[in-house]
Amino acid sequence: MLLVKQKIFFSNDSIGTSQSLSIEDGKISRATAPDSEHWVYGSDRVHPRSLEDVLPAFGMEPPGLIPAPIQKSFIHTRRGNIDWSVAMGAHRFARQLKQTYLTLCEKLSPIEDDPYLPTLLSGRKILSRLEPSSIDISEYRRLKEEGNHPQAETFEPDEDGFSKRIRYSHDTSTGRLKVSEGPKILSLPKGDRKIIKSRWEGGQVFMIDFVSLEPRVMLLLTRDDAPRDIYEAMREELNLPDATRAKLKLATISTLYGSKSQDPSLVVAVNKFFRVSEVGRRHLSGEDVCNLYGRRLNPEEANLRLSHFVQSTAVDVALMGFEKIFSELPGGCIPSFLIHDALLVDVPPESIKEFPTELSVEIEPLGTFYVSSKPLSGDI
Query: What's the Cα-to-Cα distance from 254 to each of 192, 239, 247, 259, 366, rounded to whole Å?
Result: 29, 20, 10, 4, 23
* pLDDT given for residue 86 in this prediction: 80
Range of the domain at 242: 230-303
Residue 144 lies in a domain: yes
* Alpha carbons 252 and 214: distance in angstroms, whole number: 10
How far apart CA 66 and CA 17 sit, in angstroms, is 13
On whether residue 121 sits in a domain, the answer given is no
Task: Specify the range with the lowest mean pLDDT, choosing from 37-46, 60-69, 126-135, 222-231.
Answer: 60-69
Q: Return the pLDDT at 379.
A: 65
Pair (240, 105) in one structural domain: no
Provide the whole-model pTM: 0.91
**CA–CA dist 273, 218 (Å, integer):** 10
Q: pLDDT digit string (tens) for 11-34?
A: 988 887 778 999 988 889 998 889
pLDDT tens readout for residues 236-251: 999 998 888 888 988 8
- The pLDDT of 53-58, averaged and rounded, is 95
Task: Say yes or no: 208 and 321 in one domain.
Answer: yes
- pLDDT bin (cut points 50, 70, 90) of residue 174 is very high
pLDDT 10s digits, 267-319: 888 899 999 999 999 999 888 899 999 999 988 788 889 999 999 999 999 99
The one-letter amino acid at 38: H
Of the chain, the end-to-end C-alpha distance in Å amounts to: 57
Same domain? For 266 and 329 the reply is no
Please tell me whether residues 107 and 241 are part of one structural domain: no
The CATH number of the domain holding residue 357 is 3.30.70
According to DSSP, residue 366 is labeled: T
